Every structure is written in C-alpha cells, then in structure tokens.
Amino acid sequence: MVLPKQNLDDKTFGQLVEEERKLIPRYAPQWTDHNLSDPGITLIDLFAWLTEITLFRINLIRDSHKLKYLKLLGFTPLPPLPAIVDLSFRLKYLFSWDEIPGNENLLLVNYLELRYGIDVRKARIEKTNGNKTLIIFDNIHNISFGLDNDKNTVKLKIDGVTKDELVANNENGKLNIYDFSRRLTLPKGEVIRTEISGKTIYFELLGKISIVPLNLEKVIVDERTGGVFDRTGANEQADLFYAPFGMKDHENNTLYLGFDRKAEKLSFMVYLYEKDLEVEAGKHGDEKESGLIISEFTWEISILPDEGKWQTIDPGTIIDETEGFNKSGRIIFNDLKGWAASQNIVWKDTDNKSHFWLRCILKKSGFQYPPRIETISINTVCAIHGKTIKRDNTWKRIEEFSSSNTSNGMPSQVFISSAKPILARTLLVSVSGEYNEYFATWNEIPGRDNQRLLKYLENKFYFDWIGNANIEKNTTGNIIKIFDDRNKILLVLNVWKTKVSMVMDRRKVCDFAVRMQNPELKMYSGLWTEVDDFDGSGPDDNHYILDKEHGEIKFGDGLSGRIPPESSRITVVRYRIGGGNEGNFKAGYNWKVENEKKTVGHTLEIINHKPSTGGKDAEILNDAIERCLRDMKIPYTAVTSGDFEYIAMNTPGLRVAKAKAIPDYNKNDGENSKASVTIVVLPYTPIETFIAPPSPPPGFIDAICHHVDKHRLLGTQIHIEFPQFIRVNVSMTIDMVKGYPEKELTSTVKKELAFFLHPIKGWFDKKGWPIGRLVSRSEIFEYIRKIEGIKCILKISISGDNGSSLDANGNLNLPSEISTVYPGSISVIINKDLNKCRSGDVNG
C-alpha cells in the first residue's frame, strides 16, 4: 500500500492573515486598531506572504530531492553505457599479379611507399620473362618482383637485394599476392573507426589480437558411437548450428578444426546458438556468476604428416573466454609451435587435401545442456564504443574572462572539457604537486602491503580483475608486476627512487611519488577521488564531482571537499568519451585503424558481421525511479516459498527451468524437518525428446546451494534436490473423424502427449510439468481432445516406474513431493467400431 501524499501547501494568504488577527485579542488585548493602515497589520500581511511562499516551496518535491531519496536507497541514474561490437579482421592481398600493369597499379605503388618508403608513382611498370617478372623502372631504385615456376611465391628485390618473399594464392581465377611474413598485432585499446551517416564513430579493442593469414576450411565432429559428421556447411551458414560434441556430449567426443595454414598464435570467436532458448541465464542484482560448472577439455594440434600424431597444447597458453563453451567468446592459443598438416584423421575428403588440424577432446562434461555453435569466426575481437584521451591539459576553469587550467584557490571551482559525454569509471584527475595520499610501501611488496596496493588500484582505476591478481618483484627490486591470465600492470621505480611509473599495455598511465622514510620507500598518489556528492567529504578530502553528460568536474569549498591550492595545474590523466544509443548500428560496416602507422605494409579489411548492441543514453530520473521500484520487488532475503524459488531460479549464470520450494521437508530426515526448506530444481535444456531422464550437470546443485545460502535467514536449513523422474507410459484408444488421415492423427497425438508430459516445456502453461503433481487421466483427456481429427476418446491407461502407483480412478500418483515426470512409451490405437463412440466419455 502506498502512503498518501500530504498537501503541505494547504493554507492561502487570506487564511493565514485571518488566523493571525484572531490571535491578537489573546496575546495583545490593548491592540484595538485592526485596520490596514495600522503598522502591525502591515507586518502581519508581510509575514503571511512570506509564510505562504515557504509553504509553497516545502510542498514541492524537486528532482534534486528525488535524486537524494534515490541515493538513500542505493540507486543513481545510470550514466551513458557504451555499445559492444565484434570486429573481424582479414589481411587482404597486396595486389593481383594479373592486374599489373593495369587496374591495380595503385595498390602496388601504395605497398612500396608504405612498406619501404619508395615513391614509384611516376615509374614505368612492365612484365617480362613470360609474365613471370615484374619490373619497375625508377630513376633511383632497381625494383623487381619474380614469380616462381609453381606460382606459389614472389621474391621482391630492391637494388639487387632480396627484401621480401611474398605468397601467391590463386583465388577466383586471379593470382593474388600476399605478405604473410610479418604478423600484424593490434594491442588492447587500439582505436578503430567507421563512418555512419557522415559522423566518425570510435571504438577501442577490448583485447589484443594477432591477425593471422589463415582460413577455417573444415569442421568435423566425432561423436564416437554416434558417428562422424562434417559440420563445415553449418559453420558457414547463418541461423544454422551444430553440436561440437554431439547432442549427448559423451566423454571423448571430439571437435576437429582444419585450417589451410599454420600459425604460432591463433584466436577465434565462438558464437553459441541461443536464439531458441526460452529461459534467460540467471541474474540476481549485481552478484557475479558462480563459475562452479566447468567441463574439462584437451586441446591438441597435428604434428606429423599422415601419421595421425598429436601434440597436447599447454593449458597455460590457452585463454578461454567461453568458459568451456558455456557462453560466446574468444579462445586464444599463444603457443602452437610444431603444428603440421595432416590427412590422417577420422574424416577423409575426396580430394585428399591436407589441413592443419586443431582438435578439442571432451574429457569431462559439465554442460547444463549440450552446447550448440552457430559459427566460429577467425581473427575476431570485441571492441567497445568510445575513445580514450590521456594527459589532457585542455580542461578550462569556468570563469568569466578565464580559460586557464590552473586553480585560483577559490571554493567550488568548476572545470569543463570540450569532449563529452564521459563514460563512468574512466576519469582520473591529478593536481600538480599534490602527492599527499599514502597507499603502500614499496619494501613491503610482495608482502604485507599486497592487499593495500591491490585495493587502492581497484578503487582508483576500477580494475575488476585485480582482486585475485598475482604480485611479483624482479631480482633487482625496481619493478613490481601485477598480473593474471589476461592483464598485466608494471610499477617501475626510477633510479633516484623518487618516482614510480605505472605502465599498462606498454603505455605509461600515471606517476606516483616516492618518499624515503628510513628505511622504507612509501608511495603517495596525486590522484583525486570522484564522489557522487560532498555530503561525506571533509575539508582535507581530495574529492571532486563529475557531471558526465556535460563534461564538468567540480571541486570542494574547503568545508566539504578540499580546494585545489592556488596556481596548481589541474590535469586529467585519462578519461573515455562515448557511449549512448549512437553506438548501436547494424552489421556490415567497414572500419579502419585510427593509427595507420600500425598497419604499414598491410591491407586490412575490418568488418562487423553482427550488429553492435548495449549502447544506452544516460538514464533519466523517472526511469531510475522505476528501476528502483522494480528492484525493491525482487526478493534478496528468502522468507516465503516464492522467495526461495525466485532466488534459486535466478542463480547468476545458470538457466534454471523450474524450482519448487517445499517448507518443513527434508527427504533424509522426516521427523526433524522443521526449519528446513527443500528446493527442487530442474536445469533448462532445449532438448525436446528424452531417451533417458535428464541428470544434473556437475556443480549445478552446488552452485544453487551456494547462492541460496547467502540469502537465507539465520537458522533455516536449505536442501537443494534434483527431481526424482518417473517415466510415464500412456496407452490411448481414440475414434477419429471420418476421412481424416490415420497416420497423421496418430503422429500428432503422440507428439502432443509427449509434449504435455515434458518436465520443462509441458503442461497446460507450457512451463513444464508441475513438480509433485499426479498424472490425471481427466487432464490428459482435456488436453488431447482439442486435437483436430479426434471424434472421441474411448480409453486412457497410464503406468509409471520408480515407485509410482495407480489410484482407484486410474490416475498415476507420484512417490514423493520431489517427483516429476517425463514421457515414455506412448501408444495410440484408432478405434474401428464406430458404434462405441459416446460424446464426452472417457472409458477406463
């Protein structure tokens, strides 16, 4: 029930004046002149007017009030969110041998200029030696390209010296020339741009990518007892999918990937097919996924031609963002040395072509359901909307006749940027000469100050990975390395021991001051801290407020938040601009690397094969209030049965199809089950036909138990159980409408009845058979009789296994409250005796 909103502005000016006049005889009986000309009456009128204004203002609830109330509840409007897009890179050919001299002269000219700095725009180009030698007549250099007899390689000579050996590939009737000798690597954070409706849109790579010149030509799935299947076509066609380990995902089932070339490093994006999944992965507030359900694999490469020999890849050199094919993501291989082409695998092509094989063997299945791959895309990496700006001294103080980036020592100074909007958790601000925040001691790392250092870096730089990072110091003691499988930070102490530089991705992020305090080296930071407001800030706190949408930072007034010292320079160390709906666009755009020097000598084709998603404009206040109200309805403490069921079904990362909470029940201790809650859970699967009852994947029960345990009341015992499955067999005799196809009707009835008994997709609501509910003949009759072609149902017989029993009416009782059903044998008999049909009857 919503509390009624009080109207505080409930008195008018006239009512206030009249009330005051009535009080005069009580408090000042000698005052007898109540005319408007009396000075006292004038004062009454004045204060009544001021009171009316005050009541009007008090009665208003402004947006600033609503924002404060939201913050008290732990909510603030969301800032602009950046979109995410997957970018696929491909090395294009330098030029076509058949088109020179001719249409592609300019490609050849650009290659020589970018790669070797030679300008041959005015040179003459000719072919000699039966089109096997390409000569460029230049007044300065003697340049030639020589094609070998097999048309596989091209040697480039400049002034008689061999400079490069290029590769020739026959593609679609054209002999295209490639430079595969040098691997092109783009670092994390590299800026990529595209043009959309005349506007340049910037994205940054979320990971490093080494672009390798190879193609995925074969995808083979070995299901052992199930057979061997070529899934190459399914991998190349949109909206098709294949199961990399079969739909039964037995141990030792194997996925084979055949490539046309080898590489020492390789990465590809695995897109899982999830379009038909009816249950979303669980999400409960801001809680992270448990990560308890992991399958085990062995990755191997072919190493000896035609001998079927394989070499295991060191798991430490593999980065698996799919977390064992549980979600879409990249798989990165950093060491594929010894890779060789082979024909001798489980699949033989008619052309006997050799491939460089990479295989994944399923050693232990931890899948909730068999994974299904839509496509595997080579040389693909995620990018995020926005652009990072570093060491920005262009922020100016908002003040008339001023464009300075230095402090004037006055309270509540505001500095503004020309670039906006600013993405959340990206701004770092420093004030010159202000290294006054101690955060760790150099001598105690590694050691007792590890957590102090990691906590500081997490809070200041918003590193969500650093909590479990490793810390090492080199033998000379001047470099500290903080790292995990995917990230690395270096802290470098200078030779004078006065400064520590923080380096990421080979780029300096910022400096920290070092002060000798015998014999310790203490590190101090000059970075100021962003806060939502100055309510909790004291006069010595280095705090500021950021207006992300307008690109403004505001400093304190000396009482709430410190004032930057006069003449100190305000430097924005780093921030990112971008975000919003403009980052969402369709697939098929062409992209370029912003820093073209990174791709000298290479011709890159960059394209997004899928649309970018996730970009959102800044959340307006009313939307934030609605989000808060929705969140307040979400149970975070398990009290009722509905609370337990919701929390179990929303275990982060898991797809839970059904959950039923049974209070005061413990199947192992019936007498002492008070204060116990048993939650029966059923994992989601898109499989529609069960040959055998489904079983819980390893870690599934533990993950739910771990999650619910954090939200239970003290003293409540929880038990997470998997259902006891009952195989239900149904025999049915029906009479059909005259002239209706018998086989079609029989097939339809079997299919519909199997669907009705499905534990996940069945029942009337298509949300699965209710856990613990008996199988009633009347309910089967009600569901089946609506099928077109049925005249009447003459007989329904039900049977089940695993302790189930029939009651006097022929209904199937389940053995316990945690039991559920799945379809078994279904028999449909078409009655030939037309006289037996009685409308509306079901005979036993």
Beta strands in 149-265, from DSSP E residues, in sequence order: 153-158, 161-171, 174-178, 184-186, 191-196, 199-205, 209-211, 216-222, 228-230, 254-259
Distance (Å, whole) CA 594 – CA 796: 71
Distance (Å, whole) CA 426 – CA 389: 10
The pair of three-digit structure tokens given for residue 255, joined into one six-digit string? 């996925």
Of these ranges, 215-229, 517-531, 626-640, 689-703, the one predicted with the greatest mean pLDDT is 626-640
* Nearest by Cα to 591 from 612, 575, 561: 612
* Nearest by Cα to 330 from 295, 385, 380, 371: 380
Rounded to 5°, angle at Cα 326 from 320 and 327:
80
Least-confidence region, from 164-173, 255-264, 552-561, 641-650: 164-173
Q: Which residues pair with 254 in a beta bridge?
A: 222, 361
Which stretch of DSSP H or E encloses residue 821?
strand 819-830
pLDDT at residue 1, as a whole number? 46
Q: Which residues pair with 147 in a beta bridge?
A: 154
Amino acid residing at 161: V
Query: Are 729 and 800 spatial neighbours (Cβ–Cβ below 8 Å)?
Result: yes
The pair of three-digit structure tokens given for residue 86, joined into one six-digit string? 């997957």
The pair of three-digit structure tokens given for residue 658, joined into one six-digit string? 């059904």
Residue 517 has pLDDT above 80, yes or no: yes
| Share above pLDDT 90 across residues of the chain, in percent, rounded to a whole number | 51
pLDDT at residue 363, as a whole number? 92
pTM of the model: 0.83
Distance (Å, whole) CA 760 – CA 655: 12
DSSP character string of 751-766: HHHHHHT-TTT-TTTT
Query: Are 82 and 385 spatial neighbours (Cβ–Cβ below 8 Å)?
Result: yes
* Nearest by Cα to 221 from 245, 241, 237: 245
pLDDT at residue 844, as a whole number? 44
The pair of three-digit structure tokens given for residue 701, joined into one six-digit string? 């029960």
Q: Is 186 in a helix, a strand, or coil? A: strand
Rounded to 5°, angle at Cα 479 from 475 and 482:
110
Distance (Å, whole) CA 760 – CA 733: 27
CA 610 to chain centroid, in Å, comes to: 15
Residue 515 has pLDDT above 80, yes or no: yes
Distance (Å, whole) CA 216 – CA 263: 12
Determine the average pLDDT of the residues in 97-104: 88
| Share above pLDDT 70 across residues of the chain, in percent, rounded to a whole number | 95
pLDDT at residue 769, as a whole number? 94
Q: Which residues pair with 320 in a beta bridge?
A: 331
pLDDT at residue 220, as a whole number? 93
Residue 37 has pLDDT above 80, yes or no: yes
**Digit-coded pLDDT (tens) for 302-312:** 987 766 789 99
How many angstroms separate the Cα of 337 from the Cα of each of 333, 626, 727? 10, 55, 52
DSSP character string of 647-691: HHHT-TT--EEEEEEEET--TT-STT-TTEEEEEEEE-------S
pLDDT at residue 834, as a whole number? 59
* Nearest by Cα to 703 from 654, 660, 747, 754: 654
Determine the average pLDDT of the residues in 805-810: 93
Query: Are 626 and 619 spatial neighbours (Cβ–Cβ below 8 Å)?
Result: no
Which residue would you say has higher pLDDT here, 464 or 209?
Answer: 209
**Digit-coded pLDDT (tens) for 617-639:** 999 999 999 999 999 999 999 99
pLDDT at residue 420, as a whole number? 86
Q: How many CA atoms lie within 13 A of 719 on its CB side?
A: 19
CB atoms within 10 A of CB 622: 11
* Nearest by Cα to 90 from 468, 605, 535: 605
Query: Are 361 and 371 spatial neighbours (Cβ–Cβ below 8 Å)?
Result: no
Count H helices, E strands: the chain?
11, 49
* Nearest by Cα to 702 from 726, 674, 683, 676: 683
The pair of three-digit structure tokens given for residue 157, joined into one six-digit string? 């000579």
Dihedrals φ, ψ of 410, to 5°? -95, 155
Which residue would you say has higher pLDDT here, 820 or 138?
Answer: 820
Confidence bin at 678 (pLDDT 50/70/90):
very high
Q: Which residues contact 200 (CB under 8 A, 6 or more apart)?
A: 193, 194
Residue 270 has pLDDT above 90, yes or no: yes
Residue 672 has pLDDT above 80, yes or no: no
Residue 842 has pLDDT above 50, yes or no: no
Confidence bin at 538 (pLDDT 50/70/90):
very high
Residue 342 has pLDDT above 60, yes or no: yes
CB atoms within 10 A of CB 267: 23
Determine the average pLDDT of the residues in 59-75: 87
Q: Is 709 in a helix, a strand, or coil? A: helix
Confidence bin at 670 (pLDDT 50/70/90):
low
Determine the average pLDDT of the residues in 318-327: 92
In which residue are the tokens 């856990």 written? 771
pLDDT at residue 658, as a whole number? 93
- The one-character DSSP state at 439 is E
- What separation, in Å, do the N-terminal and C-terminal C-alpha atoms of the chain show? 52
Distance (Å, whole) CA 841 – CA 793: 7
pLDDT at residue 442, as a whole number? 94
pLDDT at residue 418, as a whole number? 84
pLDDT at residue 3, as a whole number? 57
Average pLDDT, rounded, for the chain:
88
Residue 833 has pLDDT above 70, yes or no: no
Which residue would you say has higher pLDDT here, 459 or 750?
Answer: 750
